[in-house]
Every structure is written in structure tokens, then in C-alpha cells.
Amino acid sequence: MRVFGTDIHIITFTFIVLEVFFLLYQLYYYLCWPRDSNRKYYLILLALLITKNLAMGLFPDPQYEHIPIVMQYGFTYAAGFIMASYFPFYFYKSYNLTGLRFHAVYGVFLFLYLPFILTFIFEYALIGNIDNAIAHGLVVPAIYSLVLASAMWKSIQKAFQKEIEMRQYWEIILLYCSVVPFIAIAFFPDISQATEAIITNSGFTILTVLFIRRSILQSRQDRARLLELLQADTMGTQILGIGYEDHQEMVLETNMNLYQLSEREKEVVRLVRVGKPYKIVGSELAVKERTIKKHIEKIFEKVEVTNKAELLHKIMQEQPPAS
């Protein structure tokens, strides 16, 4: 079954829709926390897989007469090769598989791109048979995929040595199962679109399960650290025999001395901090509002801020101890 008058199979289209939705979902979390490098690497892999699925479904198709058939094949295989070349890089970065560094940085270009491009270009130019050129061009990459599979297995074993010693094999098995479908594709270039979509996306599905699990564990660890810090801070104030409000007052008084505010300026800051307008502050201190504004200008200058919000934020920040 095809969709929208194209050559995209319904199975391929289903995977594309699900993956686009998940891409947007994960992109939201990445934008909220751009320092999450693992999520960034995962998003790149997901985007490349979506591109591969689209290329695999759309091309080659004779109905696109304005696009030469060679270009259609080129785009399809380029999408597949780029995703395949990123795969070892993803594992190298996300799982810190140092044994994959050569393959992630150099190997895929030397043994995947170069042999295919050279074989395809020369054979197609000499003979003109595009199917034979593609089949012969995949010979070296297929052999290299076995070398890469062996390197990944050794790297995974090394990285998960602790789990192996504890006889916790399930994550290692799943991790390797996510790799096998991508490697197997190199040996079956003539399979149907639906079969290829199922094989490649099943590997990615396993990888997604592992990614979600790691994200949950990382979130739990981050929350545990936060709770430890909050507990330590609470215990610190309790040990000193003071509550939170008293602690804040101490911080305020310490900072006002640090910024060398005068006694009158300190009185102004204390009243402004509790939300009183300048006019009310002037009434309580028995001076005009204009005088309060002059005090505020001097306070801004000493604390090096430009408005009341910045003042209150900075004056209530606990200062690091002097070195």
C-alpha cells in the first residue's frame, strides 16, 4: 500500500510519522537543556533516520522525470550512507566507546564512502549498468560492516565491564541488537522497501528504549543530587540554630556591609526589600520621596545595578568566601 501517490510504503510512512513526532518531543527537551549532549547526538541520529526513510520511500521513482535517475539513486544511497557513518560516531560519543574512535572519525570514510563512490563512478561510467555498479560498490562496505561489528562488540564489552562482572547482560545484548539490523542491511541491497524499513527502524526502536532508560536514570541522579544539596543547606542553617528567614536576613546584612552602604541606605534597602514604594519609604523615614530616589541612585551605583529588580537579586545573593 502506497501513500499520497508516491512510492512510500504505508509501513515506511508510519515509521516516519512516529519518528517526526518523537523528534519534536525530544527537541523541546533539548532546547530546555542545550547542555544535554547525549540528547543532541540522539536527535541527529533520529533526523538522519527520518531522512533515510523519506529517501528510501521516494526514490528512485520514474515519475520524477525532472530528476535524473542517477541523482535519485545518489540521494537514496547518500542518505543511507550518512546515517550508517554516523552510527559508530553516535556510540563513540554517547556511550564513550573509545575503541570506536578510529572507525567513527576515519574508518567510515576510508572503507564505506570511498570504495562505494570509486566503484560506482568508474563502473557506471564504463558499463552504464547502475544496478551492477551499486551491487559491486557495496562489496567493500559490506565486508567493513563485519569489521565494524567486531570493533563495536569489543568496545561495548570494555565499556560495560562492571555489568559483565555482575552478570547483568540484558543492556549489553539490547545495545548490540540495535546495531545488528543496520549492519545486516549491507548484505541485502535488493530487499523490499517495507522489509528494509522494518529492519532498520526495529534497530532504532531498541536504541530509543535504551536512550529513554538512560535519560530517566540521569534525571533521577540529578534529582537525588539536588535533594542532597537542599538537605545539606537546610542542615547547615539548622546547625547554626537559625531558620530560613533569619539566614536571609544575615545574607542581606552581610551584603550591605560588603557594598559599604551607609546606615540610611541600609534602612532604605530593608524597606524596599519588603515591597514598599518609595513614597511610603519616605514617609516612614520622615523624608521626601525625592530624597529616597537620590539614596536609591547611590545604592545602585555602589551595588553596580541599574534597577530595583537587579538590586534585590544581587543584594540577596550569598557571596562566595574570600580566597
Distance CA 131, CA 96 (A): 38
Assess if residue 128 is contained within a domain: yes
Assess if residue 111 is contained within a domain: yes
Q: Given 3-state DSSP classes, what are the helix, strand and coil percentages for the chain, each rounded to the nearest 5?
A: 80, 0, 20
pLDDT tens string for the chain (323 positions)?
Answer: 678 778 888 999 999 999 999 999 999 988 878 778 889 999 999 999 999 999 888 888 888 888 888 888 878 878 888 888 888 889 888 888 888 889 888 888 888 788 888 887 788 778 878 778 877 888 888 888 888 888 888 888 888 887 777 777 888 888 888 887 777 776 666 788 888 888 888 888 998 999 998 888 878 877 776 676 556 555 555 545 555 667 778 888 888 888 889 889 999 999 988 888 888 888 888 889 899 999 999 999 999 888 888 888 888 887 654 44
In this structure, the answer to whether residues 306 and 220 fall within a common structural domain is no
Structural domains counted in the chain: 2
Q: Say if CB 17 and CB 26 are below 8 A apart.
A: no
Final residue before a domain boundary, out of 225, 253, 271:
225
Q: Say if CB 18 and CB 10 are below 8 A apart.
A: no
State phi, psi for 58 to the nearest 5 degrees.
-90, -35
In this structure, the answer to whether residues 41 and 104 fall within a common structural domain is yes
In this structure, the answer to whether residues 254 and 193 fall within a common structural domain is no
In this structure, the answer to whether residues 154 and 295 fall within a common structural domain is no
Residues recorded for the chain = 323
pLDDT in tens, 169-189: 888 888 888 887 777 776 666
In this structure, the answer to whether residues 284 and 217 fall within a common structural domain is no
Q: Say if CB 101 and CB 89 are below 8 A apart.
A: no
**Three-state DSSP class for residue 2:** strand
34 contact partners, CB below 8 Å, separation of at least 6: 40
- At residue 195, the pLDDT reads 87
Assess if residue 239 is contained within a domain: no
Distance CA 124, CA 68 (A): 14
In this structure, the answer to whether residues 103 and 208 fall within a common structural domain is yes
Three cell numbers at 289? 520621596
270 contact partners, CB below 8 Å, separation of at least 6: 252
CA distances from 134 to 122, 198, 239 (A): 11, 22, 74
Assess if residue 236 is contained within a domain: no
Which among 291, 304, 313, 296 is positioned nearest to 259, based on CA atoms?
Answer: 304
- Find the domain containing 198 and state its range: 10-225
In this structure, the answer to whether residues 220 and 249 fall within a common structural domain is no
In this structure, the answer to whether residues 143 and 287 fall within a common structural domain is no
Assess if residue 320 is contained within a domain: no
Assess if residue 24 is contained within a domain: yes
**Amino acid (one-letter) located at 50:** I
Assess if residue 208 is contained within a domain: yes
Assess if residue 56 is contained within a domain: yes
- At residue 322, the pLDDT reads 47
Q: Is the pTM of this model over 0.75?
A: no
In this structure, the answer to whether residues 39 and 166 fall within a common structural domain is yes
In this structure, the answer to whether residues 85 and 57 fall within a common structural domain is yes
The domain that holds 283 is classified in CATH as 1.10.10.10
In this structure, the answer to whether residues 210 and 254 fall within a common structural domain is no
pLDDT in tens, 59-84: 888 888 888 888 888 788 788 888 88
- Cβ count near 16 (within 10 Å): 22
In this structure, the answer to whether residues 85 and 217 fall within a common structural domain is yes
